[in-house]
Amino acid sequence: MTYLKPSNRIRLNLFLLYTLIFLIGIILACDTENLLNTDFEMLEIEVKSDSQELIIGDTTTLKATVDYSGDPSALIYKWSANDGRILGNGSSIVYVAPQSAGRYTITLEVTDGNTKKTSSIHIDVEVGNAIILLSNRYWNGNAFTQELTFRLRVDEIHRENITLRYEILQDSAEIGAFLSIAINDTNILQDHLIGTVQPDEPLIVIDDIDISHLITDTGIYEVKLTLDVVDVMENAWLLKKLVLIGLDGTLTEIQ
């Protein structure tokens, strides 16, 4: 059996320690090199809006221009706003202005999991000229055809393009319905399918209709919203809001 002098034993231990440190350093260097060699794709985005000046409750379409060196299907889009509502997802969405005037910021974040970019745009919202009815009124009844009727008094017309916007909530309904809208018994929408089958959560349906050809002068008009339902249920469909853009006046329900 060979015995090492204490001084030789210390040298051997130091040699083994230095060797271990050297090997660990090589391993760490390899891992760092692998990390540094991770492929990061080039990503640039810019958000543009059809309009940056809206009146309360109005809508605009926002589109993202994306310059990406990788596979576009890998991109994840996340839109946010400090007020108002965002409808849709992906590279194009609809922004619904809130009920208060002010400047609002809409932000888009796009990522592929490694690279992330954000882009923001400002939207100025003014009170403008519009008749807004926060109805929050359910279509109810025991019939398959249910109606809500309103009296519209137009005091002043402010622009050529007059728009009617409805906002309807599919609340407890488990299947879609057919919506018709008439002004003074003239249909502006006929048997339009809204909603879906068994939505995971209450679904908001929003749409705009040009009514310029019918609202041509001040006066009194009757606005009727008819819902043809497939399944009669209580509190199934809620008319949350009616907005007539470009007018001054009043809108009241006829009981």
Where exactly are the structural domains of the chain? 43-126, 130-254
**pLDDT: is 50 or 110 the higher one?**
110
* Residue 129: pLDDT band with limits 50, 70, 90: confident
For residue 63, give the 3-state DSSP assignment: strand
Of all residues in the chain, the percent with pLDDT exceeding 70 is 85
Q: pLDDT tens for residues 5-51?
A: 555 556 656 556 666 676 676 666 555 444 444 567 899 999 999 88
Average pLDDT over residues 58-62: 88
Fold match, 43-126 / 130-254: no
pLDDT score of 47:
94
- Is residue 122's pLDDT more than 60? yes
- Residues, the chain: 255
Q: In CATH, what number does 43-126 get?
A: 2.60.40.10
pLDDT score of 4:
47
Fold of 130-254: Jelly Rolls (2.60.120)
Q: pLDDT tens for residues 139-178?
A: 987 789 999 999 999 999 988 889 898 999 999 899 999 9
- Is residue 234's pLDDT more than 90? no
* Residue 234 DSSP class: T
Under 8 Å between Cβ of 247 and 215? yes
Give dist(CA 16, CA 11) in Å, integer: 9
pLDDT score of 34:
47
Per the prediction, the chain carries an average pLDDT of 86
- The identity of residue 97, as a single letter, is A
**pTM across the whole model:** 0.59
Pinpoint the alpha helices (H) of the chain. Answer: 6-36
pLDDT score of 236:
93
pLDDT score of 56:
80
Q: pLDDT tens for residues 221-232?
A: 999 999 999 888
pLDDT score of 223:
97
- Is residue 57's pLDDT more than 80? no
* Residue 79: pLDDT band with limits 50, 70, 90: very high
DSSP secondary structure string, 93-148? EEEE--SS-EEEEEEEEEESSS-EEEEEEEEEEE--SEEEE---EEE--SSSEEEE
Average pLDDT over residues 70-98: 92
**pLDDT: is 99 or 53 the higher one?**
53
pLDDT score of 9:
58
For residue 73, give the 3-state DSSP assignment: helix
